[in-house]
Amino acid sequence: MNKIDEKEILIKSLGLLYGLKNKVITINESEQYLFCPRIIKELQEKKCDKNILNLIEYCCEIEDIESIIPEQYNNKLDEFIEENLRQLRVYNYELGKNITKNDSR
């Protein structure tokens, strides 16, 4: 799997996490799009980066977190968002893109 495809997965993941955080999508919807074991298996078969696989695996536990420890739900979403952003920064660097707040592209 190439870096651009992996970056697209991170962007999709970030959008889903923000959607969950802002209550504009459901956990079930996030599972249909990305956060499910079937997708992890497909990504493994395509030799996706293990850091991305780990992030998606953790995100598959969102429903469990919400039902078992709901008081930690928002904090966990924030942690997943931060990890997602950290990984996107790595991909920007590896792809030779120096994206800053002032970049208008």
What are the pLDDT tens digits along the chain (105 aa)? 787 799 999 999 999 999 999 999 999 999 999 999 999 999 999 999 999 999 999 999 999 999 999 999 999 999 999 999 999 988 877 667 654 443 433
Query: Which pTM value belongs to this model?
Result: 0.85
Work out the burial of residue 15: count CB atoms within 10 Å of its CB; fewer than 13 is exposed, 13-18 middle, 19 or more buried.
middle
| φ and ψ at residue 61, rounded to 5 degrees | -90, 5
- The structure tokens listed for 105 are 């592209």
- The structure tokens listed for 53 are 């696989």
